[in-house]
Structure 1
């Protein structure tokens, strides 16, 4: 799972909001097995927007990928996430990056579930934190490790650990 925020909402900081969101994962039957530290990056594609905080969590999921995605949407809503324009500032963004080695492309229905996440491999603010906790994770389509992808990612190239 990838977590991101650039609007703290009622929290003292985006990091505090992300910690609170991560604490909800076990309630959604997504126990956290490992997690990265928080990373910062300039907002993209509008660098004038507030800076982002991002991280990654490895969770144990026993339900279907569709059910996991629905649980993530529910957690987002509980933090006042509204879906509008793509890449707009947000209180909370939760993305399902991969589900084991499954490859799914369901653009119609199932909330357009695509696994692995179709853009995660090019986002340093996702691959960097993933490489922090699972550098040898292999992308199920590209056959490249998280560490390799983090080194080559072009979106959010300024992303760095806090």
Structure 2
């Protein structure tokens, strides 16, 4: 077994695309990523959480995937963005509803910041819809910057955030 740290990406959607539900879109996005050399090693359950900042909008479906790729972080980001576009992603307003959202959460523990990419994801440790599915597939994960255990990060989430983020059956 390799001592290299895994790569984790977050998947989310709250709008249908071409007749596919958000959950179906996430599955199709993983197939598209596989065709581009980004293989899913492990996938969390699908989770749901209210839209933010406007909970009146459709709820999100979220998941975390551990992936394997020969690409570096900037190249992976470009692949993720190309798949988002393939599935109708339009970037008009921050935190707007979307057909697909793909984010690098942790790229093998790499810590970096550039104009286009910050690793680890700068807000991942504050989001129940990232931490709860990540804990499901990586219960021993530690934040690459703070070195805090995922259980510790979850314990500091707002209780409401933990309550409204639910695993889909």
Aligned pairs for 1:62-141 (under 5 A) are 62-106=70-114, 108=115, 112-141=116-145
TM-score, normalised to structure 2, is 0.89
State the Cα distance separating 1:153 from its structure 2 match.
Answer: 2.6
Structure 1 contact 44–156 (Cα < 8 Å) conserved = no
More strand by share: 2
CA RMSD of aligned residues (A): 1.3
1:42 aligns with 2:50: yes
> Following TM superposition, by how much is the alpha carbon of 1:12 offset from its aligned partner in structure 2, in angstroms?
3.6
Residue deviations 1:93-151, cap 9 Å, x none?
00011111110011x2xxx2000000011000001000000010111001112233233
TM-score with structure 1 length normalisation? 0.93
SS at match of 1:96: strand
* From 13, 28, 31, the counterpart of 2:39: 31
1:150 and 1:84 mapped to 2: Cα distance? Answer: 31
Separation of aligned partners in 2, 1:95 and 1:62? 17
8 Å CA contact retained: 1:99, 1:116:
yes
Gaps of 5+ in 1: none
Deviation at 1:156, TM superposition (A): 4.0
Q: Is the 8 A contact 1:11 1:17 kept in 2?
A: no
After superposition, give the CA deviation of every residue in 1:14-39 in whole Å (9 maximum; x if it has no partner).
11111111111211211110000100
Q: 1:54-82 CA deviation, whole Å, 9 max, x = no partner?
A: 00000012211000000000000000101
Q: Contact 1:40–1:159 at 8 Å: present in 2 too? A: yes
* Partners of 2:151 and 2:21 in 1: CA distance: 28
Provide the secondary structure at the position in 1 that maps to 2:63: strand
When the two structures are aligned, how many residues end up with a matched partner?
A: 158
Structure 2: state its 5+ residue gaps.
1-8
